[in-house]
Amino acid sequence: MKQQLLLRYLVVLAVATGLIGCTATRNNTAVLSPPAAPEWQFHSIVDVEFVMENATIPMPDNVMIIDARPYKPKYVNGHIPGAVSIPDSQFDKQVNLLPKDKNTLLIYYCGGLACKLSHKSAQKAEKLGYSNVKVFAKGFPKWKKTPGNYVSVSVDHVAAALEKNQAVIVDARPKKPKFDKGHIPTALSIPFTYFDKYKGKLPRDTNTPLIFYCGGLTCKLSHKSATAALALGYTNVNVFSQGYPEWKKAFGASPAAAIKPGDTEGSMDIATFEKMLSETPHNMMIVDVRDKDEFDKGSFKSAVHIPVDDLEDKIKDLPSDKPVVFICSTGARSGEAYYMIQDVRPSLKNIYYLEAACSFNKDGSFEIKKTEG
């Protein structure tokens, strides 16, 4: 009898426990269910894996990834490789950038889950008749956070990084003839084919921003190099996908013929220098050969810093497609740098120095005074 009672008690307990469990499960289900999608959310959302599968270089004709954020500063300073910029605010004006084939896969993204721009653009595209439109709702923040991903930057970003000396620019094309024929000022030559051999040229600090480039949108070398740099542990890896053709388009080739020499051998006419500095600073490479403490107090915005004591080791990195102009505080060290090139790398022809005293003020202004050679 007692045994029967105990058995019934256990059965009741088990049923009750089961019921509570079921209720709890139902309650949990209610808690975990996603909140209702906001009205503005597009109906077809994709995750980062989907985007990674489709973000191939070069982009296939039947896929277009579209950045719906403002061109400046968002797209310029970082976007998904291969993405086209059609800001939502410019949708109507730039609708001609969309592919003619309405079956093309369009993947819109913007600044993350709270950003409506990609959803708005996707809806507009669908209204135009595009049948395969998706939104990568987690957008650019998720792309950047995902291990193994790097970002693309635009020519304006590269120029700003160069001016502020804020990134190491790496040319991934073959050195001969591509790099030797012309490259972005200050760029290191690390051809992808020899990446392992020359990776020691990369900065030791793995947090240093790196910008890889090669021969344009269809060139894979910079992307492969970027992936290799990520594998080495570099945390700020960028690709200038439009590469050297875009750089040349924006800043032109070497204007060597326009340069007027100064009074002394190897010097550049100061007025010519000042004109180039104000109008086309990227058409020459200014190398400040003073010591670090002097350079830190001020220099020309577009100048790169190579102290004269370190110059010999870096002579091979100087470009041959643009004039290189050495500057210092009196003309002595810049003149020394000029003669060092004549001695060590005489094949480099576009070399000048300023026979002038250059002084810089805290507010960024400067003075160039001619000295006697």
Partner 1 sequence: MFKKIIVSMLMILFVMVSTSVTFADDGPGGNKRKGKYTYRKVYKACAQRGEVSEKKPPINPSDKTMAQWQRIFENKDFADFKCAPEWAALSDEDILDIYSYLYGYAADSPSPATCK
Binding site for partner 1 (CB under 8 A): 264-266, 291, 330-333, 335-336, 338-340, 343, 353, 355, 373
CA distance 324 to 301: 15
Q: Which residues does 208 contact at the CB level (< 8 Å), separation at least 6?
A: 167, 168, 202, 234, 236
> CB 267 → partner 1: shortest distance, Å?
9
> CB 294 → partner 1: shortest distance, Å?
10
> CB 329 → partner 1: shortest distance, Å?
10
Residue carrying structure tokens 């750089």: 247
Q: How many CB atoms lie within 10 A of CB 183?
A: 24
Residues 79, 143 contacting (CB under 8 angstroms) = no
Q: Please report, to the nearest 10 degrees, the dihedral formed by the alpha carbons of residues 162, 163, 164, 165 taken in order.
A: 40
3 state SS of 90 = helix
Q: What are phi and psi of 66, to 5 degrees?
A: -125, 125
> CB 93 → partner 1: shortest distance, Å?
56
Residues 249, 220 contacting (CB under 8 angstroms) = no
> CB 337 → partner 1: shortest distance, Å?
8
Residue of 317, 12, 365, 20 whose CA lies nearest to 169? 317
